[in-house]
Amino acid sequence: MNNFNLVLGASIAFTLTIGHSIQACDTWVALPDVTASGVTILAKNSDRPTFDCQPLLMHPRQQWEKGATINTGRVTIPQVDETYATIGSSPYWCWGYEEGMNEHGVAIGNEGIATKALAQDLEALANGEGPDLGLTGMDLLRLGLERGQTARGALDVITALLEEHGQFGSGLPAMEAADGAYHNSYIIADPNEAWVLETAGRRWVAKRLRDGSTSISNTPSIGAQWDLASSDLVSHAQSMGWWPKRTVDKFDFTLAYGDTGPRAIQQRAMSLPRAVCSSGLLQDRAGAIDPRWMMRIARDESSSPPINLDRTASSCVAVLPKSDDDLPVFWWAPSVPGDSCYVPFFVHGGELPEIVSAAGTQGRAVRPPIGVAPDSFADESYWWIFRDLHDLASGGAVNRTPEVRATFDALEREFEQGLPVIIEKAVALRNSGRFNEASQTLDAYTEACLERTIAKAYELRSTMTEENEGAVPSQFAPYLGVYNTTHKRESHTVKMQGGRLAIDTSNQRVFELLDPDESGRRQFAITDQVSVSFMHDEAGDVIGMVYHQGGMNLECWRDGYEFPAEVTAQGVQALLGDYRFAQANLDAKVFVDRGRLAVDVPGQMIFVLRQGEAESEWVSRATDQIRMTFQMDAEGVVSTMTIMQAAQPVVFERLAGDN
């Protein structure tokens, strides 16, 4: 029994279902033969935690001194002599981009995927043998744009850096690698072609597209046909036992490297409907795909889960023309595209307005993700203005998105109609060597579009704020508020969304609830595997809620409610302290949590306990299938703690100094 996670696998099922590690993103591309104007168009929805503000950044072409380096917040790598001008959106704590474009008309979007190589790294981490930190997929995306003149060139940059520096660590703010790590897939496009690149640790495989369209989501998609791969892709899979040696000629990357664990299976189940939906919408409009259709795909809600997710942090539509008489355009919308507005930005412009590059209360700075505090609303942040607008539009008794769409659809059409004249003028200026004037022309158009967009956003927010006050139906009002979980140090908020009760888990997304069944349980609209019920006191007031999943019943107490204490620190003093399961190099702490005995197992959960039948036995309040017993030596001092699940004991030794 070398892996403690296997012993307590059932106990962490809840955090796998709605916790940090289930990824969501979508990227799709249409090549010139299927677009209305004969250009390449790449689009992406970037899905992140709901507080993960994602400003838009621009970096000009730059020469670098010999020996210059890049600090990505987790690793430092050498800089090259020259980097190309780029534009892209970047989480407020991150060096890299979630999506972006460079001055040569190369655009990239990436996805988080689960692989056997990642599962192997996470197991090593749990055993104290984890790999060194590496680059994030976002870092590699920006590096590819800064150093690649073509899609193939950017692919070569990314794969070379991947093989040299690896990819490991959290890609999500305020989370350790165990919760926020993922491997990456990409679509890399230029005016002539596109590449799908999928990675697993330092290994990779790539497929070239010369025509047509394709889409990717959060699961490997390259099977037995590809064009390029790392040199030891097949042999490594065979050495790890992921692929039989006798069928080399039928090697399938997804089957060999794709993770098959419960979390990966669920992620695939959430990803495939979105990928199928975007692919189908691309095929429906083949030959006539334009930027407006790509925006339509980004806002689609016909799949389950939808492409237009509550947790979408930004969306882009990158138009990559071949002609020298045209310029690439980076249409960008902050927050959820269904309640946002695409505005045209230009990598050939001079600078971005400060408001679009501003984060919220935490500000923007490159830092390791684990030390990052959640960002929150600030009026000077364009991103937060639209996050707030989305919450207002979807959080009242009536869904206000149709009103938002009527307003912003009209603006987007006007912006698009005005583009040809502006681009023609900027191209003429550039061709005559007047580059600064060309940049100023492009910047002025973006600023004019932004001014109108911001004015409409403020107008909509003001109207919705007034109308939402007191608009909560009486049957929902008693449940609204903040609830503190006991199994994790987190707060969840019960709110209104789309005329339903919903739970905002703060670090993942908002989950709408169905009406209660006869037992009072409200099933998640997105899955029948999770439900919640509410706890009441004798007066009938709501004091907490319980998550139900897989035999687990996890309590969350309403903020401000003080439940009766069951134990005191003095009464259980003999049990308190630090313990270690040496076989897995895993520590646990026994402590009193708000009047209840609890065991904190880092990386898994906090087990809140109740007294069992025997004096030395304690039972998890979440499930009676998990029990703790404490063993004493001849002098009556606790020496070990045994955690029992499914008749499998795991013995933790009491650390010295705690007796």
Q: Is 496 exposed, middle or buried (0-12, 13-18, 19+ CB in 10 A)?
A: buried
Q: Is 77 exposed, middle or buried (0-12, 13-18, 19+ CB in 10 A)?
A: middle
The radius of gyration of the chain's CA atoms, rounded to the nearest angstrom, is 26
Which among 25, 94, 316, 449 is annotated as catalytic? 25
Question: What's phi and psi for 642, nearest 5 deg?
Answer: -110, 125
Strand, helix or coil for residue 589:
strand
Q: How many CB atoms lie within 10 A of CB 269?
A: 13
DSSP code per residue over 133-144: P---HHHHHHHH
* Helix (H), strand (E), coil (C) string for 496-539: EECCEEEEECCCCCEEEECCCCCCCCEEECCCCCCEEEEEECCC
The residue written with tokens 């979408």 in the block is 312
Spell out the residues 6+ positions from residue 592 whose beta carbon is closer than 8 angstroms to its own: 567, 568, 569, 572, 576, 598
The residue written with tokens 């003429």 in the block is 428
In the structure, how many helices (H) and strands (E) does the chain have? 13, 34
Q: Is the bond leading into 305 cis (omega within 30 degrees of zero)?
A: yes
Question: What's phi and psi for 17, nearest 5 deg?
Answer: -75, -50
DSSP code per residue over 199-246: EETTEEEEEEESSSEEEE-SS----S--SEE-TTHHHHHHHTTSS-GG
Strand, helix or coil for residue 421:
helix
List Cα–Cα distances, 326 to 58, 322, 420, 436, 631, in angstroms: 20, 8, 9, 17, 76
- Respond yes or no: is residue 25 known to be catalytic: yes
Any idea which residues carry the catalytic annotation? 25
